[in-house]
Amino acid sequence: MDLTLLLVVIITAVFLVVAALSLDKWLSPRSFNKQKGEAYECGIPTRGKSWMQFRVGYYLFAILFLIFDVEAMFMFPWAVIVREMGVDGLLNILFFLLILVLGLAYAWKKGALEWK
């Protein structure tokens, strides 16, 4: 497999990102005032504090969702080529699922799945 093309693509991508960020820094206006730093929503001035805290339960559910969403992303390609991978592929995915089930059991035991 020729890695030259891959190297060219990576170098080009890095160059384009650096060029875009540099161009943005060079062309953007550098003025700042207090009004630009304030919270803004729908053109209505805020009353009281603009910042509020969210319960940690939302965070825990979001993290658990991401973990199992990534698991589903790994399962779909595996399901497509399961016959070609043979027993070795089956053992690999079973080990992957075992790790996820152990993580789910740990989260359940710690009470992360209960809304408090």
- Domain boundaries 4-110, corresponding CATH code: 1.20.58
* Mean pLDDT over the full length of the chain: 84
Single pTM value for the model? 0.49
Instruction: Kindly give, in sequence order, each residue whose CB lies less than 8 Å from that of residue 68, ignoring residues fewer than 6 positions away.
Output: 100, 104
Q: What's residue 40's pLDDT? A: 63
Q: What confidence category does residue 7 fall into, taking pLDDT thresholds of 50, 70 and 90? A: very high
pLDDT per position as a tens digit, 12-47: 999 999 999 999 989 988 777 777 777 666 666 667
Q: What's residue 105's pLDDT? A: 92
User: Domains of the chain: which residue ranges?
Assistant: 4-110
Contact 68, 103 (CB under 8 A): no
